[in-house]
Structure 1
Amino acid sequence: MSSENGQGAGAGGVPPEQLALIRESVRKAQAPRAKPRTWRGAALAKERPVARVLVDKGVLHLDRYFDYAVPEELDEQAQPGVRVRVRFGAGRHRVREGRREGGGLVDGFLVERVDESEYSGPLAALAQVVSTEPVLSEELLGLARAVADRYAGSVADVLQLAVPPRNARAEAKPSPDPLPAPPAPAPGPWERYAQGPAFLDALATGASPRAVWNALPGPEWADELARAVAATLASGRGALVVVPDGRTAARVDAALTAVLGTGRHAVLTADAGPEKRYRQWLAVRRGSVRAVVGTRAAMFAPVRDLGLVAIWDDGDSSHSEPHAPQPHAREVLLLRAAHAKCAFLLGSWSCTVEAAQLVDTGWALPLVADREQIRRAAPLVRTVGDADLARDEAARTARLPTLAWQVVRDALQHGPVLVQVPRRGYVPRLSCTQCRAPARCRHCAGPLEAAQDSGPLRCGWCGRDETAWHCPECGGFGLRARIVGARRTAEELGRAFPAVPVRTSGREQVLDTVPKAPAVVVSTPGAEPVAEGGYAAALLLDGWAMLGRPDLRAGEEALRRWIGAAALVRDHGAGGTVVVVAEPTLRPVQALVRWDPVGHAARELAERSELGFPPVSRMAAVSGPPDAVASFLDGAELPGDAEVLGPVPLPVTGPGPARRPGGPPPGEHWERALVRVPPGRGAALASALKKAQAARMARGGVEPVRIRIDPPDIG
């Protein structure tokens, strides 16, 4: 029976639809509750109970994420980015997809938390959250993955370089509050460059210009870098500067303090010690400071809202990381500039072939001064060649040519004199005795080497013998290799100028600065101290010891070392003079005389393009015991256009500091093969080598096989 106005209603006049909902609610309330998800009796987190962890195992076949259960007591602490400890298979690694049984505790990073695991079985639980500080951001993880793929390495290895070890005391200290953005700086010394003020304006207005900067000689480069950083901060963005060593970082630090004041930037160098460096790193990650200057490891600094990445002197070997996967700071910053769409600045007194390639492809624009400005800022450069040495009795008896002696004598009346002497241990390559052109293989253009048993010449790349070499430049048949020792340079100069103090700067003790009083400063390349007011003169001795190195970059490196020393000398108007002892007809010497490192790099790039040399082509070195290298190359699915050069024997090394990092163990005979691919195929080569190495390690290969993308010493 229904009411007049309640047609179709249920008991009490409730419509059937609502009655059905009420009955369903009652049924759910009376039904027994489901048991919470547990792991070995322990309750798990109610939301997103699965943690994906990147374990700190730098082996390629384990370069992936592993799923772990999140216990309820760790729910709040186990957030993405924190450090954790998990149980991971030890010994044989009893590993199945998503599950670990037994094993010891290993460190790792919690990457993300999800609702379900792709693995259907029970999961091991997180053992510990080491710290609630989220040190691994999504941006840093993406960069680590890109670097690992670029260099055929593992993400865990990259993160060991990118994230410093934890320091509990540093974590416990709060970071200061960030300061407001500074005003845009005045151009200052950037006005010496035609496009300098425009470059600063672009940074200050939030644009992202990309430039290769050929800095003028003198000390102003640090101030120019600081102003570029200040302009970026003025736009509300962050900035990162990577330099080769602690001495250079100290100079940029002082310049940043002068331009920005204190509290706006952090210095990340190994000299600071683990606690201070980690505290500075945390201040950057937390956003307390937006500008960073540091050495090689700072290339991964987690700067927020990155607006500029800059590198100074990218040709310095200190920018190349010796630990796996051995990335180069320049390439990492190029990846960061591409991913963050930020500005890029590569600066140096000299110019590498890689920098010239960035300009040649149009990816970056040149930032240079005009020739008149260069002539005013550079010192006078004079040369002493082989013909001069042959006629000079003083040079034959004391290794100090008459011209050099006269320049030193006159310059010591006005200030200190720098004498650059190559390091001991430089090994020369073979070259034509007439025109000095490098002796190269007719098959692959690799460097020819003399056999120790007086046998035929042999290529250092492909290993072929060369029995009938002649110079393709001049037709000559003679070869030369010249090593000049430098052990007694300081003593010889001390005897030549007994009234003047002689200081040395090198491996045992590196001087940072010297006073402006007259003195002779003998230094190895890269250890030259800065003189107050600049040096009155510089001598660059034994040029063939650097030009004759068995290295593709011998000329480029010699010019970089020479310009690095000459840039510390006063300009020509103030009487600054540089004397280089090397054949004046050689390309690097001519580039020094004209002060034209950019032109030298452009010509080197064109020559390498014709010969298929890096950086136009991409190369990888595969080294290890002969059987292991052969087996690895046979099993690798290399790109179809890859060319394998060699293998050739590597020198047998002995124990101690003379052993080359990454070389064969003492007493073992190793071989190295070079794999070359055309432009644009570098990613395919790295992927193929990484897959082959991962498969080899998964099979339990015991003999070591080492892979290095873009090896710096290919001869």
Structure 2
Amino acid sequence: MPAEPDGLPSGAIASETAPGGEPGYARVVVDSRLPQLDRLFEYRVPPGMTGVEPGVRVRVPLRGDRMTAGWVVETADARAWEGEVADVEKVVSPVPVLQPEVWALARAVADRAAGGAADVLRVAIPGRQARVEKQWLARERSPLPALPALAESEAVLPRLVEDRRRVAIECAGGVAEVVDLSDAIDSGATNRTAWVGRWAIALAAIARQAVERGEQAIMVVPDHRDQRQLRIALSAAIGSERVVELDARQKNPERYRGFLRCIDGDPVAIIGPRSAVYAPAANLGLLAIWEDGDPLLSEPLAPWVHARDAALVRQSQSGCALVLAGHARSSDAERLVELGFLEHERLGAHRVRVLPSALTDDSRRVPAVAFRAAKEALATQPVLVQVARPGHAPGLRCGDCGVRARCTSCAGPLGRSARGAVPSCRLCGRLAAAWRCQSCHGTTLTEVGRGSTRIAEELGRAFPGVPVMVADGEHERLTVDAKPRLVVATRGAEPIADGGYGAVLLLDGDALLSREGLRVAEEAVRQWATARALAADGATVVLTGAGGTTVTAITGDTTVPFAKAELAERRSLRFPPAVRTASVVGHPDAVAEAIEVLGVLEHLDVLGPVPAPADVVKGSREGELERAIARFAYADGARVAGIARGRVLAAAARPRKPGAPPRLRIRLDDPEPFDGL
């Protein structure tokens, strides 16, 4: 059986092997989701086996003849366990994919989140591609080309990286044209320029500071749209040869090739979505996150660590410069500014005119002021229309009794993707061709609300002769040219227009703000600021159906006062990010035991328990589980995480039926319970 070494460090990769000799023992973290296996196991390296080094993938026995994958964390000549020790079964690959800094980060992040290190490593390390590995092992290293020339006027926040500053940057909007040296344009194209957000150019200039010092930069973005802009800007600033992308949208060999390039240690900029925060970078000079308030940066897999939290841990370990940047300041970043951990900076200026417009008639989609702004801009430029929902009709009701039409399979809301389309579930996608009302048995459906395609049809009639384009989840468009046209886009799907939009209409403000959730107003401001940033200098931005502090945040030059007010309100209510939380879900007795143990902390308070939603844990049934929310100070985070992990381990040791939900699940910093506030 494998043995757990007693009292050995688990936060660093090390080799205690004499130079020139093969180690006698290896300490391995196994690739398992079971919480009771979240520790280092010691194995003997059998005589004649070579290549057992820190960081490599191995196969090891776990129970009897059962083999499992793992990564070597430490090697040593002497054993630390006095009992029986099993042998390493196989070295899967000689490539040290688990780098020391990544293991230290994974262990610390998992401990902070009361989770398992292997779960973090599964996100951090892509699957092996044998052919790519062979090419990498046989490669001949050659020096990278010189950096492109950079005018002194193009420098942004000089010495930020050298001085290891930690900064929250509020970036002004606007777009700019840059030389495109990336692969974004086919090699046969004659137009070698592209339009990107000015934010991307600013972050690329900061990343260049790290590369000039021979260091690496990690740049984390919410999605592939932002990644494309940053790739183009970085290619212009440091050359495409120094840009490495890590993205789940890449083909597996391409992603793995990029991952191995990170291990090389060359001074490059590494860009990608949330998982890029774990990229190998032994000589890290800069870690930057764009739009840290975007929900896409929250990891959906256990232990559910937000990229911002992982970045804060990594910065504390490496001492690198840290940047949290966005068009709108998140309440989380504002908390760090008010603590003095981050400095405040504002970059650039964006001259636009923002006009709020209240909706006096719900049936009127485009108020007169918005109509005039669009008409004037369409004489020479494209116009962006941001809407809240995709499809034709986002909701349907029974035409007889008015009850909301729902899916008979999952109870999700029904909608129509296009005029005359068969109703379908917006959650599971199941068609409802033979729908019948569960209340009155009627078969007539009435459309509720207007989605992107329906609004596009209406605008086409309002502006005859003007081309109308839809950009949403089903109609992806990254860019549009400068020709006059109407671009109807859902939130987050707005394409960049060459030269910027002549007008931006932010419709459905009332729909955005009427949703339930702790961060509804903050998220609305972020999404409006993102759309406003796509406007050309001097353009008009019209916001409809909103009021109060959200309008002030968008019409002003800065969103910082709004973030301050949001944080102050959360602090008075003891809601995140003013405090941390632990969502405790499980069988009533397990929840009660966990809350009792957590209750020893002086400043911890508990909300609940209450019946947990049926879908909160896979395999659970309505009324089977309970949920309680513990709120605690950041200073108590390590103690709460330790107690939580202990209770999960105790619950996991008890038997349960196959397919049954776990007796206890504790998730730290869980945003879901606050979505309905």
Residue in structure 1 matched with residue 4 of structure 2 by the alignment: none
2:73 match: 111
User: Aligned to 1:200, which of 158, 173, 180?
Assistant: 158
Of the candidates 51, 59, 63, which is equivalent to residue 38 of structure 2?
Answer: 63
Query: How do 1:161-200 residues align onto structure 2 when only pairs under 5 Å count?
Result: 161-174=123-136, 175=139, 176-179=141-144, 182=147, 185-189=150-154, 196=156, 199-200=157-158
The whole-number CA distance in structure 1 between the counterparts of 2:38 and 2:641 is 15
- Quote the residue 1:403 is aligned against: 369
Structure 2: which amino acid aligns with 1:578?
V
* Native 8 Å contact 1:625 1:703 kept in 2: no
- CA–CA distance in 1 between the matches of 2:154 and 2:449? 40
SS at the partner of 2:69? strand
Q: TM-score, normalised by structure 1?
A: 0.76
- The alignment status of 1:535 with 2:501, answered yes or no, reads yes
Q: Deviations over 1:658-687 (max 9, x none)?
A: xxxx55558644443211013421222222
Q: Secondary structure of 1:344's match?
A: strand
Give CA-to-partner distance per residue, 1:313-346, whole Å, 9 cap, x none: 1111111111111111111111111100110011
Residue 52 of structure 1 aligns with an amino acid whose one-letter code is R
Aligned partner (choices 92, 101, 107) of residue 130 of structure 1: 92
CA contact (8 A) 1:637 1:692 kept: no
For 1:55 and 1:539, the matched residues in 2 are separated by 52
The structure-2 alpha-carbon separation of the partners of 1:628 and 1:348, relative to structure 1 and needing over 3 Å to count, comes to: same
**Which residue of 2 is the match for residue 643 of structure 1?**
605
Compute the displacement of 1:290 (Å): 2.8
Supply the distance in 2 between the matched residues of 1:326 and 1:184 (Cα, whole angstroms).
Answer: 41
Kindly state the Cα deviation for residue 163 of structure 1 after the two structures are TM-superposed. 1.0
In structure 2, which of residues 546, 551, 562 is the aligned counterpart of residue 589 of structure 1?
Answer: 551
- Partner of 1:207, secondary structure, is coil
For residues 243-642 of structure 1, the aligned pairs below 5 Å read: 243-369=221-347, 374=349, 377-385=350-358, 389-390=359-360, 395-423=361-389, 485-486=450-451, 488-572=454-538, 576-584=539-547, 586-624=548-586, 626=588, 628-634=590-596, 639-642=601-604
- 1:666/1:421 CA distance change after superposition, 3 Å: farther
Contact 1:283 1:289 in 2 (8 A): no
| Aligned equivalent of 1:682 | 637
Q: Which of residues 186, 190, 209 is equivalent to 2:165?
A: 209
Q: 8 Å contact 1:58–1:155 — kept in the other structure?
A: no
Task: Select the residue among 49, 56, 60 that pairs with 2:24.
Answer: 49
The aligned counterpart of 2:655 is 700
Over 3 Å counting, the alpha-carbon distance change for 1:164 and 1:215 in structure 2 is same
- Are the structure 2 counterparts of residues 542 and 226 from structure 1 closer, same or farther at C-alpha, using a change threshold of 3 Å? same
Match of 1:86 in 2: 60
CA distance in 2, matches of 1:173, 1:649: 54
The 8 Å contact of residues 256 and 265 in structure 1, kept in 2 or not, is answered as: yes
AA aligned opposite 2:354: V
Structure that is richer in helix per residue: 1
Deviation of the 1:407 alpha carbon: 1.7
Alignment deviations for residues 461-491 of structure 1 (CA, whole Å, 9 cap, x no partner): xxxxxxxxxxxxxxxxxxxxxx954362222
Q: Matches of 1:623 and 1:484 in 2, distance apart?
A: 36
**Distance across 2 between alignment mates of 1:86 and 1:355:** 43
Change over 3 Å in CA distance of 1:536–1:180 after alignment to 2: closer
Describe the shift of the 1:650–1:168 C-alpha distance in structure 2 as closer, same or farther (beyond 3 A). Answer: same
Specify the alignment match of 2:217 in structure 1.
239
Residue 398 of structure 1 aligns to a residue whose secondary structure is coil
Tell me the distance in 1 between the aligned counterparts of 2:464 and 2:619: 46
Report SS of the residue matched to 2:296. Answer: helix
Aligned partners of 1:497, 1:172: CA distance in 2, in Å? 59
Q: Kindly indicate whether the alpha-carbon contact (under 8 Å) linking 1:307 and 1:342 is maintained by their aligned counterparts in 2.
A: yes
- Higher mean displacement: 530-539 or 108-117: 108-117
For residue 627 of structure 2, give the secondary structure of its aligned residue in structure 1.
strand
The CA distance in 2 between the partners of 1:646 and 1:378, in whole Å, is 49
| 2:101 aligned residue (135, 139, 146) | 139
Contact 1:187 1:227 in 2 (8 A): no
CA 1:493–1:666 in structure 2 vs 1: closer, same or farther (change >3 Å)? farther
- Cα distance in structure 2, aligned partners of 1:627 and 1:416: 60
Change over 3 Å in CA distance of 1:304–1:119 after alignment to 2: closer
**Residues 583 and 668, structure 2, Cα contact 8 Å, conserved in 1:** yes
- Contact 2:164-2:320 at 8 Å conserved across structures: yes
Q: Is the 8 A contact 1:211 1:365 kept in 2?
A: yes
Residues 178 and 288 in structure 1, CA contact (< 8 A), matched pair in contact too:
no
Partner letter of residue 568 of structure 2? A
Q: Name the residue aligned to 1:149.
A: 111
Secondary structure of the 1:616 match is coil
Partner residue in 2 for 1:456: none
Tell me, yes or no, if the aligned pair for 1:638 and 1:689 is still in contact at 8 Å: no
CA contact (8 A) 2:586 2:627 kept: yes
Contact kept in structure 2, 1:415 and 1:517, CA below 8 Å: yes
Secondary structure of 2:244's counterpart equals strand
CA 1:321/1:420 → structure 2, altered by over 3 Å: closer, same or farther? same
Q: Which runs of 5+ in 2 are unaligned?
A: 1-19, 175-196, 395-447
How many angstroms apart in 2 are the aligned matches of 1:539 and 1:625?
A: 49
Change (3 A) 1:182 1:518: closer
What TM-score do you get using the length of structure 2 for normalisation? 0.80
SS in 2 for 1:675: strand
Structure 1 residue identity aligned to 2:504 = A
Q: Which structure 1 residue ranges, 5 or more long, are not aligned?
A: 1-44, 90-101, 191-195, 428-482, 654-661
Structure with greater Cα Rg? 1
Say if 2:97 and 2:125, in contact at 8 Å, map to a contact too: yes
The CA deviation string for residues 142-187 of structure 1, in whole angstroms up to 9 with x for no partner, is: 1111100111100111110111111101111135434277489445
- Aligned residue pairs: how many? 571
- Change over 3 Å in CA distance of 1:400–1:688 after alignment to 2: same
CA distance in 2, matches of 1:187, 1:71: 59
Deviation at 1:378, TM superposition (A): 3.3
CA distance in 1, matches of 2:327, 2:580: 26
Identity of aligned residues (%): 40
Measured after TM superposition, the shift of residue 605 of structure 1 is 1.5
The answer to whether the Cα contact below 8 Å between 1:378 and 1:595 also exists between their aligned partners in 2 is no
